[in-house]
């Protein structure tokens, strides 16, 4: 039986953090053997807000390198850069023409991001979820593993697919979001009321995947907690809850075992142990990253091969779309 298909994407903003890793990338690595997979560095999404060209060029490579270093492998997964496959832009345009503006006005991520940008908001930022729908629908993805913040975008993608299928006849697969029960929303260290984010102004809010052990120790040490003492999982105590959740995700121990283990310890102990667990978990990834970026031509060759395979699949689907709507 043919395997089910997975598609997911990640922006080329550099500085990938523990939230990206635990909410998305690590799940991609875990799932890849059981599916046909497409993982994409979505550079066209990245330019929906202003980017410096040199920085963008470097970030595309950094993010791709981190995906391979995290354990995505070319035997199981097609890893590629979105702008290398032209069908993404073309299908996005076609989907634009069947998507009501009202649907996009409801997107909470647009509301948040556009508030920050005020007068500078581009049409691209507004249209972002339609390009995301094109990404997913081009590859007939059944499953889209993402963090919780992307749920609304995947639902919109289903709505767009359904509208197309209804108008022109069945062509698109309706995808489901895959959101991990634990890890779907890793919170910030300095502001545990909000998700960990690259764009957070406070630099200490996120642990970046390439942070040194000392940087990790310093950030965890400064993480916001509360004035209580007891170490337990409690949604009403977001700081401690988040530290314990990160500990749980990285050690894969049960909640009960963790609470028992820390029952006689202090917040200081928890922070020190957590920092070591994070540093140890990231060490192999950082080593592989240095190895593969040190090998001349490695990344380019992998990304060229990924683009070739993705392009084949995407072109086939785009032609089928063009047939349906009368462009061919």
* List of residues contacting ligand ATP (CB under 6 A): 10-11, 13, 19-20, 23-24, 146-147, 149-150, 184-186, 195-199
Cα distance between residue 98 and residue 130, in whole Å:
10
268 is catalytic: no
Phi, psi of 86 (to 5 degrees): -65, -25
Catalytic choice (5, 195, 271, 324): 195
Question: Given candidates 5, 6, 9, 282, which one binds ligand LTN under the rule CB under 6 A?
Answer: 9
Q: Between 186 and 303, whose beta carbon lies closer to ligand ATP?
A: 186
195 is catalytic: yes
Q: Which stretch binds ligand LTN (CB under 6 A): 5-13, 111-119, 258-266, 304-312?
A: 5-13
List the one residue out of 43, 75, 44 whose CA is nearest residue 305. 75
Give which of ligand ATP, ligand LTN, none residue 254 binds (C-beta under 5 to 8 Å, depending on kind).
none
223 Cβ contact list (under 8 Å, min separation 6): 189, 190, 192, 204, 239, 242, 243, 271
Phi, psi of 137 (to 5 degrees): -75, -25
Give which of ligand LTN, ligand ATP, none residue 306 binds (C-beta under 5 to 8 Å, depending on kind).
none
Residues 121-140 touching ligand LTN, rule: CB under 6 A, are 132, 135-136
Q: Between 127 and 135, whose beta carbon lies closer to ligand LTN?
A: 135
Half-sphere exposure (Cβ direction) of 299: Cα atoms closer than 13 Å: 23
3 is catalytic: no
Dihedral of alpha carbons 61, 212, 250, 245, sign:
negative
Question: Given candidates 22, 29, 31, 42, which one binds ligand LTN under the rule CB under 6 A?
Answer: 42
Cα distance between residue 124 and residue 44, in whole Å:
9
List the one residue out of 144, 147, 145 whose CA is nearest residue 158. 144
By the criterion CB under 6 A, which residues form the site for ligand LTN? 7-9, 11, 42, 45, 132, 135-136, 144, 146, 150, 153
């Amino acid at each position: 039986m043919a395997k089910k298909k997975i598609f997911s994407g990640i922006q080329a903003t550099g500085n990938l953090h523990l939230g990206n890793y635990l909410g998305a990338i690590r799940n991609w690595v875990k799932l890849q053997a059981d599916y046909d997979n497409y993982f994409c560095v979505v550079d066209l999404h990245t330019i929906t807000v202003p980017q410096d060209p040199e920085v963008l060029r470097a970030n595309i490579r950094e993010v791709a390198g981190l995906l391979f270093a995290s354990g995505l492998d070319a035997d199981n997964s097609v890893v590629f850069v979105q702008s290398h496959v032209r069908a993404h832009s073309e299908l996005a345009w076609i989907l634009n023409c069947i998507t009501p503006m009202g649907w996009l006005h409801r997107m909470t991520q647009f509301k948040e991001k556009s508030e920050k940008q005020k007068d500078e908001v581009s049409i691209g930022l507004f249209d972002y979820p339609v390009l995301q729908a094109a990404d997913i629908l081009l590859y007939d993805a059944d499953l889209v593993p993402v963090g919780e913040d992307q749920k609304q975008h995947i639902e919109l993608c289903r709505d767009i697919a359904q509208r197309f299928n209804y108008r022109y006849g069945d062509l698109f697969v309706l995808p489901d979001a895959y959101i991990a029960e634990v890890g779907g929303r890793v919170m910030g260290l300095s502001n545990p009321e909000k998700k960990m984010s690259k764009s957070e102004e406070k630099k200490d809010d996120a642990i970046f995947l390439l942070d040194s052990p000392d940087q990790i120790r310093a950030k965890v040490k400064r993480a916001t907690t509360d004035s209580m003492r007891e170490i337990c999982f409690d949604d009403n105590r977001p700081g401690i809850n988040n530290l314990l959740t990160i500990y749980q995700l990285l050690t894969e121990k049960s909640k009960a075992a963790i609470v028992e283990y820390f029952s006689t310890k202090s917040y200081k102990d928890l922070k020190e142990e957590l920092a070591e667990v994070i540093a140890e978990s990231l060490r192999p990834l950082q080593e592989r990253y240095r190895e593969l970026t040190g090998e001349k031509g490695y990344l380019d060759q992998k990304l060229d091969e990924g683009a070739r395979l993705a392009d084949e699949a995407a072109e086939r689907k785009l032609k089928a779309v063009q047939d349906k709507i009368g462009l061919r």
